[in-house]
């Protein structure tokens, strides 16, 4: 099995994993990946995610040309957003877009992620909020492109879910799963204590610097 076939199988494994974790639903969410250094991507189509197979994936150029696709299969309408990210970030080889309930709910409520846990302290500085634009639109692709530089690992799409970026598929998956966990923890803490304590400022600075303080 060649590298492309391995990559397609891995995309399908990731889709099923996220579907089972209830981070993507039925026709919602989309995933793409490329081999490092490649100017082509494999992306999921708009279909029921619980049944996706390698032959359903669509191969595209970063300019938007469909290079390989089964008959009557179209790429996700979100492909402009995916392509814009790959063009901007040569280090990104995988993009995972989910409609994760907890983080999407916090966004809709206008609640920002807070450094309540060590994981949150380490990741929230690499998260950016993208204002709403119509799914699949060039406007959304441009807004995403503007926010993706500077080591950003995740984008929160207002009214629309989250994008995780990674050098590999499982790295991108780990980003969306970590942020969903952070959001769920914050939601529970806020329900039980209106103002849960954040990590002390000195410890927060040390965590971000990779230092240990006693």
Given a contact cutoff of 8 angstroms between Cβ atoms, the answer to whether 158 and 107 are in contact is yes
Note the pLDDT of residue 55: 95
Residue 39: predicted pLDDT: 95
State the pLDDT at residue 211: 62
Query: CA-to-CA distance for 47 and 27, rounded, in angstroms?
Result: 5
Q: Burial of 90 by CB count in 10 Å (0-12 exposed, 13-18 middle, 19+ buried)?
A: exposed
pTM: 0.93
Give the pLDDT of residue 68: 94
Positive or negative torsion for Cα 62, 68, 74, 75: negative
Using an 8 Å Cβ cutoff, are 41 and 62 in contact?
Answer: yes
Nearest Cα neighbor of 191 from 109, 129, 126, 81 is 109
Which one of 3.40.225.10, 3.40.50.620, 3.20.20.10, 3.40.50.2300 gives the CATH number of domain 3-209?
A: 3.40.225.10
Task: Give the span between the Cα atoms of 79 and 72, in whole angstroms.
Answer: 17
* 192 three-state secondary structure: helix
Residue 189, C-beta contacts closer than 8 angstroms, at least 6 positions apart: 116, 196
Rounded Cα distance, 3 and 128, in Å: 32
Q: How far apart are CA 113 and CA 153, in angstroms?
A: 15
Q: Delimit the domains of the chain by residue range.
A: 3-209
C-alpha to C-alpha distance for 172 and 178, rounded to whole angstroms: 10
Residue 210's pLDDT is what? Answer: 73
Three-state DSSP state, 45: strand
- What pLDDT shows up at residue 24? 93
CA distances from 88 to 81, 153, 195 (A): 11, 13, 38
Question: Mean pLDDT for each 10-residue chunk of the chain (214 residues)?
Answer: 92 96 91 96 93 96 95 94 97 97 95 92 93 96 95 95 97 97 95 87 78 60
Q: Which residues are catalytic?
A: 78
Q: What is the pLDDT of residue 195?
A: 84
* Residue from 183, 189, 176, 187 nearest 21 by CA: 176
Q: Distances from the Cα of 198 to the Cαs of 99, 104, 117, 120, 207, in angstroms? A: 26, 21, 7, 10, 13
Structure tokens at 152: 């950003």
């Amino acid at each position: 099995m060649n590298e492309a076939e391995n990559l397609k199988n891995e995309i399908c494994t990731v889709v099923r994993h996220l579907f089972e974790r209830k981070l993507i639903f039925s026709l919602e969410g989309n995933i793409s990946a490329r081999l490092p250094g490649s100017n082509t991507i494999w992306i999921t189509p708009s279909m029921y995610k619980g049944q996706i197979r390698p032959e359903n994936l669509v191969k595209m150029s970063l300019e938007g040309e469909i290079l390989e696709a089964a008959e009557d299969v179209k790429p996700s309408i979100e492909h402009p957003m995916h392509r814009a990210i790959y063009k901007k970030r040569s280090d990104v080889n995988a993009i995972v877009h989910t409609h994760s309930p907890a983080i999407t709910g916090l966004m809709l409520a206008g609640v920002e992620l807070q450094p309540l846990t060590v994981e949150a302290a380490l990741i929230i500085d690499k998260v950016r909020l993208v204002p709403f634009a119509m799914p699949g639109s060039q406007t959304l692709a441009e807004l995403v492109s503007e926010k993706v530089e500077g080591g950003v690992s995740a984008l929160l799409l207002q009214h629309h879910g989250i994008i995780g970026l990674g050098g590999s598929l499982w790295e991108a998956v780990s980003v969306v799963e970590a942020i969903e966990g952070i959001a769920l923890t914050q939601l529970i803490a806020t329900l039980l204590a209106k103002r849960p304590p954040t990590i002390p400022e000195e410890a927060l600075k040390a965590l971000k610097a990779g230092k240990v303080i006693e």
